Amino acid sequence: MMKSNHWPELFYEDAKETYQTIHLWSQILGKIKLSEMPWINHSWHTTLLVSTTGLSTGDLPADNKHFSIELNFLTHKLEIFTSLGEYKSFGLQQLSVATFYQNILEAIHAFGINVKINPIPNEMLDPIPLDKDHQHNTYDPGHVSSLHKVLLNVNEVFNVFRAEFIGKSSPSHFFWGSFDLAVSRFSGRKAPKHPGGIPNLPDWVAQEAYSHEVSSSGFWPGNEMLPFAAFYNYIYPEPKGFNECNLKPEGTYYKAEMGEFILPYEVVQKAKDPAKVLLEFLQETYKAAAELAKWDREALESATT
């Protein structure tokens, strides 16, 4: 796994305008993927994937070809590839969300692919429609490069964590609604109906996503509620006593307003072995949740780990 000097510092206050712009761009990619893919449980068909160069839609089917879209954080371009060898790209710097929206749809339509998306951002309060948002237009290549390195490192650890589980588990994937990289484990039992209420997200989507008991861990680069990069873990439904657990590694705490355990990214980044500390957080929070919720751990976990 990556050594400590490959885990860069992240400064939310300095980078937040760049993060906000990328978040909205990622929503456009996600909505395009949503329009082209068959429904997969828990909305997994809409998520983006961490790639060697950035964030990718992965392979998408069209009428007579396949295509993929990449936010390339190495060349700082948006790239579109088709299975017929067609290619288009445009630069990301000094580009508003509205211009990005127009450029990407024009490029896709030029390939003869008819894509239509809902321009209202999801999981945001009072959002500006994507096709009219000239406010968000910040792209700092340095902040983007650091975030990409972190996503690659975290994705690597998440995949190790996923390999320890033989029950139903999500891939390590990027949710563009909440702008986080996540990996989830399921007990196999149905969960109580989720109350919904997530801004600009139909209740039935949240209810389908949380249809079964789930322990989910992830990474945020930060937001206004949590203005620093952090790792999280929650379980739905939350068993009694989960919020009172005293968990390792040092620096882990329960944030009641969010119903989640939090480990600041800074704790991991400054550790002698960041990957080891992150994996400990993933394992400890999951074990506490699974024990309290009485999951069948013997049946769900790999005997080789």
What tens digit of pLDDT does each residue of 173-203 get? 999 999 999 999 999 999 999 999 999 999 9
For residues 232 and 249, what is the distance between their CA atoms, to the nearest angstrom? Answer: 13
**Residues whose CB is less than 8 angstroms from the CB of residue 74 and which lie 6 or more positions away in sequence, other chains included:** 53, 54, 145, 148
pLDDT of the residue at 2 = 47
Residues with Cβ < 8 Å from 18, sequence gap 6 or more?
Answer: 138, 139, 140, 143, 144
Picking from 103, 132, 161, the residue at the C-terminal end of a domain is 132
- Residues 146, 228: one domain? yes
Taking the C-alpha atoms of residue 55 and residue 49, their distance in angstroms, rounded to an integer, is 6
Cα–Cα distance measured from residue 168 to residue 145, given in angstroms and rounded to the nearest whole number: 33
pTM, two decimal places: 0.96
- Residue-range definition of the domain harbouring residue 69: 9-132
Residues 58 and 169 occupy one common structural domain: no
254 and 148 in a common domain:
yes
Our measurement of the distance from residue 117's CA atom to the centroid of its chain's CA atoms, rounded to an integer in Å, reads 20
pLDDT of residue 303: 74
Distance of CA 101 to the CA centre of its chain: 20
Looking at the structure of the chain, the number of domains it has is: 2
Which of 89, 107, 132 corresponds to the end of one domain?
A: 132
Task: Say yes or no: 115 and 147 in one domain.
Answer: no
DSSP character for 290?
A: H
Below-50 pLDDT ranges, the chain: 2, 4
Kindly state whether residues 222 and 280 are assigned to the same domain.
yes
